[in-house]
Amino acid sequence: MPGDRGMGKHMQKLIVVLAALAAAGVSIGLTAPSWAATQLHEDGTGFVTGADAMTALGWDDATLQANAASLEFVAETASVTTFSWECVNPEGTEVLSQRTDLVVTETRGIASAPSTLWWGTVVGFRLQGFDGLGASSAVPEGPAPHSCPDPSWSLVPESTRTVEEKGEPVLAVVHGGVQHPVPAG
C-alpha cells in the first residue's frame, strides 16, 4: 500500500535524526544543560552537576557513569559560639579576659537521585531534601565558661558576652564512606 511506504520513510527519517542527536550528544561530552548549576537550598533540595561531582571525586565520566548509583550527598554546617567574660583578682587590681569557643558541626544526609539524559547517561544529581535529623558534634576550645584562673578570683558582674556565628553549609558527595567537598558554585 502506498500509505504504508510513506509512513516507513518518515519513521526512517525520525530514526536517522534521533541517531544524529544521540551522536551529537556524545561528541559534546554529555554535559548538563547550560542552565543547570550546582546549588543547595535551605531545605536540602537542589542540584549537583555531573562535572562538579567528578571534580570533587577526581573521577572521569566513565567512572561517574559506573558508580553514580552508589553516591550519597551530605551538607555540613559549622557554627561557632563564643563566650567571653572577665575575672578580677581579690585585690581588684587585675582584670583578666577569658574566652571559650564552642564549635558545633552538624552533618545532614540529603536524599538524591541521578539525573539522566533520555538514553540513560548521568549528567547530575537531583537533591530531594534532607533525610532525617543528621548528627552533630560539639568541641569546646578554652576554659569552662565563667571560670576564673584561681578560685580566689571572681567573675566581673555583667561582663559575660555571647556571640554566635553560623557558617554556610558545605555540600559534599560521599563515596565509600569518605566525604568529598563539592566545588562551590
pLDDT attached to residue 21: 42
Q: Give the residue extent of every domain in the chain.
A: 1-30, 31-181
pTM of the model: 0.67
For the stretch 81-94, pLDDT in tens is 999 999 999 999 99
114-to-13, 17, 68, 69, 84 alpha-carbon distances in Å: 31, 26, 7, 7, 47
- 12: confidence class by pLDDT, cuts 50, 70, 90: low
Choose between 24 and 122: higher pLDDT: 122
